[in-house]
Amino acid sequence: MPADKADQLRKLLRQQIQRATNEAIGSEGQVSAEQVAKLEQLAHLLDLYEGAHPSPIRKRWPLVLALGGTLLIVSVLLFARVGETEIELDLALSEVNFVLATPQVLTESTNLSTLGVSGFDEIQIPAANHDAKSGRLSGEGDAALRLSVDSKGERRGSITLTPMMLPVETHVWVRRSELPRQYRLSIKGTSPEINVGVNGPVRLEFSHRQADLQDFLIPDGVSLTSGANQVDLDLVFLDLAKSQFPSQLSAKDLSFVHIDEFRDEQNTVVRRVSTIISGNLTFESLNGLEQKLRPGEMIQFEYSQGEIRTLHLDEDKINVQFHGRVRGMSIGSGEGHRSLMPTWLDWLRARHGLSLLWGTALYLFGLIAGVLRWWRQPT
């Protein structure tokens, strides 16, 4: 190849120059004219040969391929996001809704001062004494009743919401009311039956007839039966310090968004509002990296499933602790909408930091060495 012959001529010229240099040093600078002429001829021959055989143009595709591959890898690490991640949420909310992932008990046995129910197909009311008759309200999703404790002399009534066993795929909403210690629990699922224990003087307010005060001499129960419609229970608690919901609820499709709908004669306006009062988001897959959530920030998921470890009602907020896996997690709305899913670089840095460091160092070393080899030795 021409490049090989040019290298051979350069090597021969270097040898001749070295030999002449040694001769000049040994003879105090005396070099024969014949030796100088040979060097000039050899140098001129090299010039002529290189002029007749110019160096080939370097192929650019190896460098372009190396730079393109590097850009692709960096882009994937910086901008591509993992499909699923593990998180933990510790939130204070005004409303939360979720879907039960397994059949389970939703509520503990809870003492109430007032209970309002609506949306039921049938409400069965027991007789307060032997002389009274039991009653039944039927409304095909329109039966409603309000129970409130009352007193008769020194005797005071009680209302107890018994534990609710609900089927899988039941949709549950828990919403704070503007009244102290009052919350709305909404349920939509496969015909759940709910029982309410009553004892002593209890006032019954019906949707279609006059209110009635009944004195249940022995503990009895009001039976609530629903169909496919959503049912609402307005709960006023006697003591919010006691647990209302069991721990470790298996749940999916969590949402912290309330839908506000405004209507007039001409228009209907629907608005999505965040129910977050405050809270923290912890990325378990990123070694516990935390992000504080501000009031009103809208966090949403395409998919979520895990465990509601705590669901507790306070005087003015709902405290929720959730641990699980999510997909498509984002924050904000409109132009401020952005993904919260970790990038692959975030995930590698947290889970394989040392491997990422050594891998990056070796890759850069190989890339630089390859570019230098390409630059010095054209092909």
Q: What is the pLDDT of residues 259-282, one digit of tens each?
A: 887 777 777 777 889 999 999 999
Q: For the ranges 117-121, 242-246, 334-338, which has the lowest average pLDDT?
A: 334-338
Give the Cβ contact number of residue 27 at 10 Å. Answer: 10
Are 187 and 169 in contact by the 8 Å Cβ rule? The answer is no
Model confidence at 250, pLDDT cuts 50, 70, 90, reads very high
Coarse DSSP helix, strand, coil percentages of the chain, rounded to the nearest 5 percent: 25, 45, 30
Residue 130 scores a pLDDT above 50: no
How does DSSP assign 130-186, residue by residue? SSS--EEEEEEEEEEEEEEE-EETTEE-EEEEPPPEE-TT-EEEEEE-SSTTEEEEE
pLDDT of residue 13: 67
User: What does pTM read for this prediction?
Assistant: 0.74
What distance in Å separates the CA atoms of residue 379 and residue 375, rounded to the nearest whole number? Answer: 10
Q: Give pLDDT tens digits for 51-103.
A: 666 665 566 666 677 777 777 877 777 888 899 999 999 999 999 999 999 99
CA angle 23, 24, 30 (to 5 degrees): 115
Running DSSP on this structure, what letter comes out for residue 23? H
Residue 131: predicted pLDDT: 47
Residue bearing the bigger pLDDT, 40 or 178: 178
Q: Tell me, what DSSP letter sits at residue 286?
A: G
pLDDT for 379 beyond 70: no
Residue 296 per-residue DSSP state: T
pLDDT at 133 over 50: no
Token digits of residue 235: 């709960």
Token pair 């419609």 in the structure block, residue: 229
pLDDT value, residue 73: 79
Predicted pLDDT of residue 63: 67
Q: What is the rounded distance in angstroms from the CA atom of residue 108 to the CA atom of residue 69?
A: 58
